Amino acid sequence: MKRIVIALALVLCAAQPALADKVAAPIPIGIAVAQTSNVALFGQEQVNGAKLAEERLNAAGGVNGTKIALVFQDTAGDEAGAVNAFQNLLNRDKVVAIIGPTLSQQAFAANPIADRAKTPVVGPSNTAKGIPEIGEFVGRISAPMTQVAPNSLKQAMKIKPDLKRVAVLYAQNDAFSSSETTTFQDAIKELGLETVTVQKFQTTDTDFTTQVTAVLGANADLVVISGLAADSGNLVKQLRQLGYKGLIVGGNGLNSPNMFPVCGALCNDVLVAQAYSPGAVDKNPVNKDFAAAFEAAYKKGPAQFSAQAYAAVQVVVEALAKIEKETGKKIADFELADLRAALNKSLRTGTYLTPMGEISMAPSGEVQQKDFYVSKIVMNPDGKTGAFVLVS
Residue with smaller CB distance to ligand 1QQ, 125 or 354: 125
Compute the least distance from the CB of residue 390 to ligand 1QQ, in Å: 20
Please state, in angstroms and rounded to a whole number, the distance separating the CA atoms of residues 180 and 127. Answer: 8
Helix, strand, coil shares of the chain, percent, nearest 5, are 45, 20, 35
| Cβ 145 vs Cβ 175: under 8 Å | no
Residue with smaller CB distance to ligand 1QQ, 42 or 208: 42
- The helix or strand, by DSSP H or E, that contains position 309, with its residue range, turns out to be helix 304-327
The SS3 assignment for 295 reads: helix
Q: Segment near ligand 1QQ (CB under 6 A), from 100-108, 182-190, 235-243, 378-386?
A: 100-108
Residue window 234-253: x/- pattern of binding to ligand 1QQ, with contact defined by CB under 6 A: ------------------xx
Interacting residue with ligand 1QQ among 48, 127, 197, 314 (CB under 6 A): 127
Interacting residue with ligand 1QQ among 125, 211, 234, 277 (CB under 6 A): 125
Interacting residue with ligand 1QQ among 104, 119, 211, 234 (CB under 6 A): 104
Judged by CB under 6 A, does residue 102 bind ligand 1QQ?
A: yes
Mark 182-214 as b/e (b = at least 16 C-beta within 10 Å). bbbbebbeeeebebbbebbbebebeebeebbeb
Residue with smaller CB distance to ligand 1QQ, 253 or 357: 253
Nearest of 71, 90, 58, 61 to residue 28 by alpha carbon: 71
Please state, in angstroms and rounded to a whole number, the distance separating the CA atoms of residues 14 and 189. Answer: 68
Judged by CB under 6 A, does residue 42 bind ligand 1QQ?
A: yes
Judged by CB under 6 A, does residue 137 bind ligand 1QQ?
A: no
CA distances from 275 to 216, 300, 373 (A): 31, 19, 6
The SS3 assignment for 106 reads: helix
Interacting residue with ligand 1QQ among 66, 73, 111, 126 (CB under 6 A): 126
User: Hey, which bits of 162-291 come out as E strands?
Assistant: 165-171, 194-201, 222-226, 247-250, 271-274
Residue with smaller CB distance to ligand 1QQ, 252 or 314: 252
Compute the least distance from the CB of residue 30 to ligand 1QQ, in Å: 17
Per DSSP, the residues of 122-161 read: EESS--STTSGGG-TTEEESSPPHHHHTHHHHHHHHHH-T
The residues near 269 (Cβ < 8 Å, ≥ 6 apart) are 247, 248, 376, 377, 378
Residue with smaller CB distance to ligand 1QQ, 120 or 144: 144
Counts for the chain of helices (H) and strands (E), in that order: 13, 15
Write out the binding residues for ligand 1QQ, residues 330-369 only, by CB under 6 A. none
Compute the least distance from the CB of residue 147 to ligand 1QQ, in Å: 12
Sign of CA pseudo-dihedral 352, 355, 357, 362? negative
Compute the least distance from the CB of residue 369 to ligand 1QQ, in Å: 14
Residue with smaller CB distance to ligand 1QQ, 127 or 199: 127
Compute the least distance from the CB of residue 289 to ligand 1QQ, in Å: 25
Compute the least distance from the CB of residue 127 to ligand 1QQ, in Å: 4
Judged by CB under 6 A, does residue 48 bind ligand 1QQ?
A: no
Please state, in angstroms and rounded to a whole number, the distance separating the CA atoms of residues 383 and 310. Answer: 28
With contacts defined by CB under 6 A, how many residues of the chain interact with ligand 1QQ? 12
Q: Segment near ligand 1QQ (CB under 6 A), from 73-81, 96-104, 153-161, 286-294?
A: 96-104
Judged by CB under 6 A, does residue 272 bind ligand 1QQ?
A: no
Neighbours of 283 (CB within 10 A): 9
Interacting residue with ligand 1QQ among 86, 108, 137, 176 (CB under 6 A): 176
Position with the least CB separation from ligand 1QQ: 176
| Cβ 61 vs Cβ 320: under 8 Å | no
Q: Segment near ligand 1QQ (CB under 6 A), from 81-89, 97-105, 157-165, 269-277?
A: 97-105
Q: Which residues bind ligand 1QQ (CB under 6 A)?
A: 42, 102-104, 125-128, 176, 228, 252-253
